Amino acid sequence: MLHAHGRAKVHRVVRGPWPARIKPLENETLSSWLVRASLANFSSPSTVVNYIWPGWRAWTRDIDRELTPDQLKALQQVSSLSESEIDSMLLKPVIMRVNQDTKLNRTNTWPWVIQRSTRNKNTIRSTQFCPLCLMEDVKPYLRRQWRISFITICTKHRINLHDSCPHCGASVEVHKLTRGKLKQCAHCRWDMSDIKPASANNELASVTGMLEKQAFSEQDYSPTHFQRLRYLISLVRRLSAKQSIPQSAATLFQCNEERFYAFADFSSLAFDWLTTDDRRSLLETVAPLMSMGTAQFALSLLESDIPLSLLNNCADTIPEELQQYLPEKRCFDARARNETQNPVKKLPSRRAIERRWQAFLVKHGID
């Protein structure tokens, strides 16, 4: 066990019982709990983590995903938490439930987990938060739902989530806090709950609520919705790379061409690496098709003038519910290979051209 040395001039930990033994809150992440436990015992998150796992730079890793058996045992020894209590703070049980056919690798990215890009303990927008949840919390903490990439709104308050401080724009890095509460920005000390919330898209709120319930509930799970969501996201992103978009396809997704082409600005990044705003924009586009029945969904796609080759090849796998409606994928393999061998040069978007023009003017001192 460890606790802060009350008479020490600087924060450090010493062996002994942990005076403040806090319990995890509902759906709290491991990183959130570690920070709260550190501050409650008048120590810093870095000092505590280095004591628990010496030689392992935990804050440069995504500790919310999973722990090895040795790391789990070390944490149990100093926290008095049971294995099930620690497991309830990790993302692995949720992701294994959502991706039952996918084998999770510790060193690879995990589907539907917001990826944590880290350099020297500096993280880039890997944690979201709801300002109203933080405002209402007696003990502010971070939820596991806020680390899931298909969740970009708070289903309780039906408002948009944020992934950076509203005041200074810095990423949410609670592991850098040395005092205060988790709703404070570690960079500017601003109360991140002090912001006017933005109402969520009603259709997306309903879809997100359904997906969240399936991911975090022990009942009524079906892989169909997650397969469809992944497929539609891939389809929209592939459409945005086309030189022309069928009008019927734009009508189907209730999205104009300008918005479609805006998706091309971040086409090089996988969905789980995108910012909250970019992911929310994509999810709002596919939300109308998420509530359709299987037959209506398939018929809508086939009547949208989207090329069958694209419907068959836009994603790694076609959802099981669509396989009986779409022609055999192998019929289009040759055409897909030809398109790959002779790619059509994509014109840059208007937004990208404007950015380059502004950079040119600044470089040459032209007003």
Statement to judge: residues 239 and 309 lie in one domain = yes
Statement to judge: residues 237 and 142 lie in one domain = no
Domain with 272, as residue range(s), is 222-340
Statement to judge: residues 69 and 125 lie in one domain = yes
CA–CA dist 290, 233 (Å, integer): 11
CA–CA dist 35, 175 (Å, integer): 6
- Asked whether residue 265 is domain-assigned, the answer is yes
- Asked whether residue 22 is domain-assigned, the answer is yes
285: tokens are 């586009």
Statement to judge: residues 34 and 151 lie in one domain = yes
- Asked whether residue 269 is domain-assigned, the answer is yes
Statement to judge: residues 227 and 130 lie in one domain = no
Statement to judge: residues 14 and 143 lie in one domain = yes
Statement to judge: residues 95 and 244 lie in one domain = no
- Asked whether residue 192 is domain-assigned, the answer is no
Statement to judge: residues 40 and 133 lie in one domain = yes
- Asked whether residue 362 is domain-assigned, the answer is no
Statement to judge: residues 63 and 133 lie in one domain = yes
Statement to judge: residues 171 and 253 lie in one domain = no
- Asked whether residue 210 is domain-assigned, the answer is no
**What is the residue type of 46?**
S
- Asked whether residue 196 is domain-assigned, the answer is no
User: Of the residues 121, 142, 176, which one is the last residue of a structural domain?
Assistant: 176
Return per-residue pLDDT of the chain as tens, 367 residues: 445 544 444 555 444 556 778 899 999 999 999 999 999 988 899 999 988 999 888 888 899 999 999 999 999 988 889 999 999 999 999 999 998 777 888 888 899 999 886 665 556 778 999 999 999 999 999 999 999 999 999 999 999 999 999 999 999 999 999 888 999 999 999 999 999 999 999 999 999 999 999 999 877 788 899 999 999 999 999 988 887 888 888 888 988 888 888 888 888 889 999 999 999 999 999 999 999 999 999 999 999 989 888 999 888 888 999 988 887 654 444 454 555 555 556 677 777 777 777 777 777 677 6
Q: How far is CA 136 from the centre of its chain?
A: 23
Statement to judge: residues 8 and 148 lie in one domain = yes
Buried b (16+ CB within 10 A) or exposed e, 109-137: ebbbbbbbebeeeebebbbbbbbbbbbeb
Q: How many domains does the chain have?
A: 2
Q: What is the pTM of this model?
A: 0.83
- Asked whether residue 86 is domain-assigned, the answer is yes
Statement to judge: residues 141 and 239 lie in one domain = no
